[in-house]
Structure 1
Amino acid sequence: MPDDLDLNVVRGLRADVPEMSEQAFEDGRAQLVAATEGKGVVPLPRRPPRKQSFRGRLLPVAAAATVAIAGAGVAAVTLAGDEGKAPVAGTAPESHVLPPLPAEPLNRAGELADRVRDIQLAPGQYLYLEKQEWDHGRKHDKPTRTWIPKDRSADWLAISPEGNEAHSAGGFGVGEFLPNQGNFERLPRDPKALYELLRHQVGSHEDPARTAFEQIVTLLSGAAPEPLRATLYRVLGYLPQLTVTPGAFTKDGRSAISIEMRWVDGHRSSTELLVDPDTGLVIGQHGRYETESTIRYAVVDRMGQVPPR
Structure 2
Amino acid sequence: MDELTLLRNMRDDSREPSPTALAAGRAALLGRIADDATYATAQHRKQRRWMPRLTWAAAGVAAAMTGVLVVGNVTLSAQSAYASDVLRTAATQTIQYADLVAGSDQYLRSHTHARWGVCDATGCEPNDQIMDVYMPADPEAEWTLYRDWGNMPGVLTGESIETTRAVDGRFYDPGHSWVNVDYADIPLDGAAAYEWIDAQYNGGSASRDEDNFVRITDILRSGLVPAPQRAALLDALSRISGVTATDNVANLDGVTGIAIGRNEMLRAGERQEIIIDPDTGLVIGERAMSGTTLFGWGVNEEMSLTAIETTVVDTAP
TM-score interval for Structure 1 and Structure 2 normalised by the shorter chain: 0.5 to 0.7
Give 1:164's aligned residue. 162
CA distance in 2, matches of 1:159, 1:112: 31
Question: How far does residue 249 in structure 1 lie from its aligned partner after superposition?
Answer: 1.6
Aligned match for 2:315, one of 273, 295, 302: 302
CA distance in 2, matches of 1:183, 1:106: 26
Matched, 1:148 2:135: yes
Give 2:203's aligned residue. 204
Matched, 1:241 2:219: no
Q: Which amino acid aligns with 1:217?
A: T
Question: How far does residue 217 in structure 1 lie from its aligned partner after superposition?
Answer: 0.7
TM-score of the aligned structures, taking structure 2 as reference length = 0.60
Unmatched runs of 5 consecutive residues or more in structure 2: 1-61, 118-123, 149-159, 291-302
Percent sequence identity is 22
SS in 2 for 1:265: helix
Distance 1:225 1:175, change over 3 A: farther
Matched, 1:292 2:305: yes
Alignment of 1:1-309 (within 5 A): 35-36=66-67, 39-41=70-72, 84-86=78-80, 108-116=86-94, 117=97, 118-136=99-117, 140-161=127-148, 162-172=160-170, 179-180=179-180, 183-205=182-204, 206-222=206-222, 223-265=224-266, 267-287=268-288, 290-304=303-317
Does the 8 A contact of 1:128 with 1:299 survive in 2? yes
CA distance in 1, matches of 2:259, 2:64: 25
CA distance in 2, matches of 1:32, 1:156: 61
Distance 1:36 1:229, change over 3 A: same
SS in 2 for 1:253: coil
Distance 1:149 1:266, change over 3 A: closer
Does the 8 A contact of 1:125 with 1:301 survive in 2? yes
The superposition leaves residues 126-163 of structure 1 with CA deviations (integer Å, 9 ceiling, x where unpaired) of 11222111135966354111111122222111122122
Q: Which amino acid aligns with 1:86?
A: S
CA distance in 1, matches of 2:197, 2:167: 25
Question: How far does residue 207 in structure 1 lie from its aligned partner after superposition?
Answer: 0.3
Larger RCO (alpha carbons 8 Å, 6+ apart): 1
Distance 1:38 1:267, change over 3 A: closer
CA distance in 2, matches of 1:167, 1:177: 12
Distance 1:239 1:178, change over 3 A: farther
Q: Which amino acid aligns with 1:207?
A: S
SS in 1 for 2:199: helix
Distance 1:224 1:38, change over 3 A: same
Question: How far does residue 250 in structure 1 lie from its aligned partner after superposition?
Answer: 1.2
Does the 8 A contact of 1:121 with 1:150 survive in 2? yes
Distance 1:254 1:300, change over 3 A: same
CA distance in 2, matches of 1:110, 1:149: 30
Does the 8 A contact of 1:245 with 1:258 survive in 2? yes
Give 1:67's aligned residue. none
Judging by fraction of residues, say which structure has more helix: 2
Does the 8 A contact of 2:79 with 2:245 survive in 1? no
Q: Which amino acid aligns with 1:213?
A: F
Q: Which amino acid aligns with 2:106?
A: Q
Does the 8 A contact of 2:114 with 2:252 survive in 1? no
Q: Which amino acid aligns with 1:115?
A: Q
Q: Which amino acid aligns with 1:191?
A: G
Which of the pair has more CA radius of gyration? 2
SS in 1 for 2:262: strand
Segment of structure 1 superposing worse, 113-122 or 275-284: 113-122
TM-score of the aligned structures, taking structure 1 as reference length = 0.61
Does the 8 A contact of 1:283 with 1:296 survive in 2? yes
